[in-house]
Amino acid sequence: MLICKLFRQIHIYLLVLFMAHLILFADAALGKSIKKDTDVVHWVSAGESLHKIARRYLPLSEELNVSDLIEKIMVLNGIQGSLIRPNQRLLIPLVRSSPVAAKTVPKQVDFEAKGIYVNRYSMATHKMKRLVDELVAAGGNTVILDGKDMSGMLSYRSKVNLASEIGANESPVIGDLAKLIHYLHKRGIHVGMRLVLFYDQLLATSRPELTLRSMATGDLFEDNGKIAWVDPAHPVVQEYNLRIAKELAEMGVDEIQFDYIRFPTTDKIEYTSSSLDEHMTPRYEIITNFLARARKELAPYKVLLSVDVFGIIAWDRSEDIQMTGQKTQELAQYCDVISPMIYPSHFDSPFQNIANPNEQPHLLVSETCRRFSGLLADSEATLRPWIQAFPLGAENFSEDYVLEQLRALKESEARGWLLWSAGNKYGVAWKALSQPKDVIPEGETISASLLPDDLD
């Protein structure tokens, strides 16, 4: 009886031991499987959502945005719908143990950029990768991303105090900008970051003491019914933008591009700035001095510094310089790249003996580049224009329209090109760029030499 009882206990012990080994083996096998597909097992806490979990792990994944990571988590865990429950076990697909740190890829001043503008909304969606794929297929190598747009909102969560105070970083579309930059670098893309400087609706409305004011009434200056222009001469405004620029440089971008680096354009100069009042400093000196300061403070980061200017500034008219503060010869001393916005449909008709500039994209781009090249002759700055890749205002917008502009750039002293479409719709441009390189668009063009050297 005792012996039978002993054998029974031994049998149970061996069975338990066997089951334990079986469980350990299964766990080890499962561990290998998990290790292959994921680096972490996450146990859901009460109140957690897939969005919150994905946002937490995004810096460690290969995905560029939260929605993509959520989709991958759902597929990996066989989740139908978006509901999860407390204590649910989730496998999280990760590819690194710590957030990636992007590094600036320094370029020569004459780097031949061929790129597109990508707004802050496209940056955060599936569209980002598609745009990059299409750009690379078309022979491009550059993207200009939104760092701060005309609304004053930042596309990422900044650590700059003033940005937090006015809510500029409350709704960042990019949870991990450094990872996006890293991804673009892996694709061989030159990464520029666009900063809209002195047109800043959020800063102007949050800090009215920083805005331009009506010279006649002292009221806040309005542009098309909007209070949006801050004072380019104000130290707080300058410091705010420079801190953002340096923060982006530290995150690994390759180029800082200043847009709206000017005063507003109005028929009458009817607003005032603190510097203009106190010192009667010419506007172009205010803008140039700011750029000189930016050049000095960004130098340690080895990023290219570029500025966007109006295409009409190529004619170097005193009234345009006085109004905008953009004087090409001065700006060129303190930046690497001048990017004039040469959009044929944006020139008034008639212009320079052309009845309708919109119908002569080759001519307009050629002549504008020729004039800018002359203004840049005594500097080391590179000419890299923005050209029109959108139909607004262009009655005859087509592949040929884009090709005419590209051909004009190729025949000029410009180095590279940037395609502008505010909505990031580049279908027509991709078709143009897919044409054989020796294709010349049909249609007669006028030689730029026929244009007069002045506007009279």
Query: What is the pairing mode between strands 255-259 and 190-196?
Result: parallel
What's the number of CA atoms in the CB half-sphere (13 Å) around residue 100? 25
The per-residue pLDDT for 7 is 52
- At 26, the pLDDT band (50, 70, 90 cuts) reads very low
Q: Which secondary structure element, helix H or strand E, spans residue 244, and what is its range?
A: helix 235-250
Q: What is the pLDDT of residue 29?
A: 38
73-124, pLDDT tens digit by residue?
999 999 988 889 999 999 999 988 888 889 999 999 999 999 999 999 999 8
**Which DSSP helix (H) or strand (E) runs through 337?**
strand 337-342
pLDDT in tens, 385-403: 999 999 998 888 999 999 9
Would the pLDDT of 451 be above 80?
no
Q: What is the pLDDT of residues 301-321, one digit of tens each?
A: 999 999 999 999 999 999 999
Instruction: Note the pLDDT tens digit of each residue in 32-72.
Output: 333 444 568 999 999 999 999 998 999 899 888 888 899 99
Which position has the token pair 């130290």?
235
Name the residue with higher pLDDT: 180 or 21: 180
pLDDT at 417: 98
Give the model's confidence band at 444: pLDDT under 50 very low, under 70 low, under 90 confident, else very high. Answer: very low
pLDDT in the model for residue 446: 38
> What is the rounded CA–CA span in Å between residue 164 and residue 179?
22
Do the Cβ atoms of 264 and 227 come closer than 8 Å? no
User: Is a pLDDT exceeding 70 seen at residue 274?
Assistant: no
pLDDT at 12 over 80: no
Considering only residues 449 and 430, tell me which one the structure prediction assigns the higher pLDDT.
430
On the question of pLDDT at 357 being above 80, the answer is yes
User: Using an 8 Å Cβ cutoff, are 257 and 115 in contact?
Assistant: no
Task: Tell whether the torsion through CA atoms of 16, 20, 21 and 22 is positive or negative.
Answer: positive
Q: Residues 137, 140, 141, 144: is their CA dihedral positive or negative? A: negative
Per-residue confidence (pLDDT) for residue 362, from 0 to 100:
95
Minimum mean pLDDT range among 18-22, 288-292, 294-298:
18-22
Distance CA 330, CA 323 (A): 15
In tens, the pLDDT along 216-254 reads 778 898 888 899 999 999 999 999 999 999 999 999 999
CA dist 92 and 35 (Å) reads 11
- 136 pLDDT tier (thresholds 50, 70, 90): very high
Predicted pLDDT of residue 3: 52
Query: Average pLDDT over the chain, rounded to whole?
Result: 87
